[in-house]
Amino acid sequence: MSTITLSNGIKMPFIGLGTWQVKDPEEGILAVKSAIQSGYKAIDTAVVYQNEAAVGEGIKQSGVDREELFITTKVYNDYQGYEETHQSFKESLERLQLDYVDLYLIHWPITEKYHETWRAMEEIYESGKAKAIGISNFHPQHIEDLMTTAKIKPMINQIELHPNLNQKELVTYCQEKNIAITAYSPLGHGNLLDNPIIEEIGKAHNKSVAQVILRWDIQNGITAVPKSVNPERIATNIDVFDFELTTEEMTKIDALHTGERVNKNPDIFVINK
């Protein structure tokens, strides 16, 4: 099973290519092209990554039918609000050279704006231009507040999640509400790749540390968007469907939690207005 079914019936691939910090357009085009050629169906971008145009070009150059792909983008903080979100979405589609996206997310919980942002996103969803809509970096208090005005429940919450920050409580909270989770920075931004405990687990399965971590996500029902611009690493990061971690191995990885983040904590994130 390489896909998860979202609450509205849409299927989302478990592994997608992350593109945060892929700045160079040529590098971006090549990464997207090589991911799609290695069998990726999902690509994750955002306005603030400034690479939607490169992602669009990579998709075009891959030669794969758009309908086979699952493309995610996000509305950034300074574009939140009703009119602004509609405008930002339109510009994202233009940069991506697409008629629709598969998933559209609110990038960060800007409390005074996300209600109006969501109202625009519901309209975009109802128009068919986003096959699913969701949120990113939202904590339970943000979700509960959003739901006081929302007509449609978010289908995804994309959050920082890796063995050092396993987000158990937030994952359980969302999964109980049938909000699926996507892990960003699933490899801890690369910081976890020399972890001896994961390395040892990998040896038992003839798999790399990155592959073990991504398998741990999948077995927890979590989708992930590992970032790489290296074609070989891109290919190995999706080669995670032919082995299974034991319960004991899963528990060992769970125990690596330290609470250490590589990105900002949404609770104390200062808005870039």
Structural contact between residues 162 and 185, judged by C-beta atoms closer than 8 angstroms: yes
Minimum CB–partner distance for residue 27 and ligand A2P (Å): 9
Q: Is 189 a residue that touches ligand A2P (CB under 6 A)?
A: yes
Q: How far from 128 is each of 53, 76, 117, 180, CA to CA, in Å?
A: 22, 21, 17, 20
* Of residues 62 and 211, the one with the C-beta less far from ligand A2P: 211
Considering only 133, 187, 240, 256, the residue that binds ligand A2P (CB under 6 A) is 187
Closest CA to 178 of 209, 148, 213, 152: 152
Minimum CB–partner distance for residue 38 and ligand A2P (Å): 12
Q: Is 195 a residue that touches ligand A2P (CB under 6 A)?
A: no
Residues numbered 228-257 forming contacts with ligand A2P, rule: CB under 6 A: 228-230, 233, 236-237
44 - beta bridge partners?
18, 72
Span from 4-12, 146-154, 186-194, 241-249 in contact with ligand A2P (CB under 6 A): 186-194
Considering only 16, 18, 81, 163, the residue that binds ligand A2P (CB under 6 A) is 18
Residues numbered 52-71 forming contacts with ligand A2P, rule: CB under 6 A: none
Q: Is 166 a residue that touches ligand A2P (CB under 6 A)?
A: no
Q: Is 185 a residue that touches ligand A2P (CB under 6 A)?
A: yes
Considering only 41, 139, 207, 227, the residue that binds ligand A2P (CB under 6 A) is 227
Within 10 angstroms of residue 39's Cβ, the number of other Cβ atoms is 14
Considering only 35, 110, 210, 222, the residue that binds ligand A2P (CB under 6 A) is 210
* Of residues 109 and 188, the one with the C-beta less far from ligand A2P: 188
* Of residues 81 and 163, the one with the C-beta less far from ligand A2P: 163
* Of residues 143 and 212, the one with the C-beta less far from ligand A2P: 212
Q: Is 109 a residue that touches ligand A2P (CB under 6 A)?
A: no
| Active-site annotation holds for 184 | no
To 5 degrees, how large is the angle CA 44–CA 4–CA 152? Answer: 75
Q: Is 190 a residue that touches ligand A2P (CB under 6 A)?
A: yes
Q: Is 161 a residue that touches ligand A2P (CB under 6 A)?
A: no
Residues touching ligand A2P: how many (CB under 6 A)?
A: 18
Token readout for 161 is 């999640």
* Of residues 31 and 110, the one with the C-beta less far from ligand A2P: 31
Q: Supply the residues annotated as catalytic.
A: 49
- Positions in the binding site for ligand A2P (CB under 6 A): 18, 185-190, 193, 208, 210, 226-230, 233, 236-237
